[in-house]
Amino acid sequence: MATAGQRLREDARACLRAAIAAVEPEALVRRHLQAVGWDEVSGRVRVAAVGKAAAAMAAGARAELGRVISSGVVLAPRGAGTVQPAGGDPWQVLEGGHPVPDEGSVAGARAVQELAAANEAGDLLLCLLSGGGSALMTLPAEGLSLADLQATTESVLAAGADIGELNTVRKHLEVLKGGGLARQAAPGRVLGLVLSDVVGDRLDVIASGPLSPDPTTYAEAIAVLERREVWPSLPDDVRRHLRRGERSEAPETAKPGDPCFEHVEVRVIGNNRLAAEAALAEARRRGYATLLLTTFLTGEARQVGAWLAALAREVRASGQPLPAPACLVTAGETTVTVTGRGRGGRNQEVALGAALALAGCLDVLVASLGTDGVDGPTGAAGALADGETLHRARSLGLDARQALADNDSYPFFAALDDLINTGPTGTNVKDLQLTLIAE
């Protein structure tokens, strides 16, 4: 007979599987394409699929539109598995780097740029965008190199910047971001179907807003870099470019009211709320009282883990905000300020922060998962932690506090067999946390 702890693990994994299934990109794309009015399209239909879900989203477009598509580009993370063209299919299948762009990211961006530049009046450019698109589709502004953008991305990420801050910088160093792709595709029609990996589903932030007006400025990009204390260490050409833009000596990103958006429509077809609600439904089916706390979760990962543990202790002590057996769900995207040299990701760090705060609290579990199946530079999607994690770790000679100080959560949870390993899921709607409290 399974123990309470084993049941919590089984239930958590089942809820997470349900969440990922609910945001399966191919089905979402097909469903939304069926509702598109095609009477306005008299010319060619071209498809650009960019992001962690590019392969599955492209498969949905191909299944729904078939030979109507005249040409297409699929730009996905390296090694994630991509749509393979059938005989005669007019698709380019490319791979780029993530979270730091590489040569493939530049080649992919140029392929998308060419596709957009061919979009004439009467044509349709169907853009299928998902998380990871910012790194995957990288076309440096004039005077900047890929190495410049790589160094800047690495510095901003290591400083703990959130996705909005990082993309504010990216949009002012590149050609296609911040409405740049819409500029390239005008005057033809553009339809963007977006799988959101951004808190609040902000279209100007998802994939750095290639089809959306950008409210940010060069001055704000500089402010991000100064606030995160990386400005002095950036490549000279990056700082020079941003200062030129600040002085209006370089063109700004596309702003609201720009004519390039006249024939552009962008729709969010999947997000973390959809995934969270599927997890809740599975938890209810398994007998839990459920509560969705937020889909706007942000903050330092280890502190979020401690907060989730505090919520679990409150349920255990007072039955608030709901009685056990309970499932609390949160979703969003945390950040990690890197101070050590270890291996891990933000979801594993959430779990490690929770483990420290849950010590001795029995029959409680916190699970944190990246819905794309890849948590930081590791092969895991996330990790599980409970009230016995620290005890089990000590028996193996592991020091949880030292692991946290070193940002070394991956080997810690690997030794405990508490990593969540899904492999790349083909979708991406940020992160999901489950806090389960047994009766």
Nearest to 53 by CA among 78, 84, 26: 26
pTM exceeding the 0.75 threshold for the entire prediction: yes
pLDDT of residue 390: 97
Cβ-contact 36, 191 below 8 angstroms: yes
pLDDT of residue 3: 84
Nearest-angstrom CA–CA distance, 167 and 221? 9
- In the numeric block, the tokens 């590019």 are attached to 54
**What are the per-10-residue average pLDDT scores of the chain (439 residues)?**
86 98 95 77 89 93 89 88 55 92 97 96 94 94 97 93 92 97 96 93 94 97 97 97 97 96 96 97 98 96 98 96 97 92 96 97 96 92 97 97 97 98 91 96
Cβ-contact 351, 324 below 8 angstroms: no
pLDDT of residue 78: 86
Using the CB atoms, write b or e for 300-310: b if 16+ within 10 Å.
Answer: bbbebbbbbbe
Q: What is the DSSP string of 210-265?
A: TTS-----HHHHHHHHHHTT-GGGS-HHHHHHHHHHHTT-SPPPP-TT-GGGTTEE
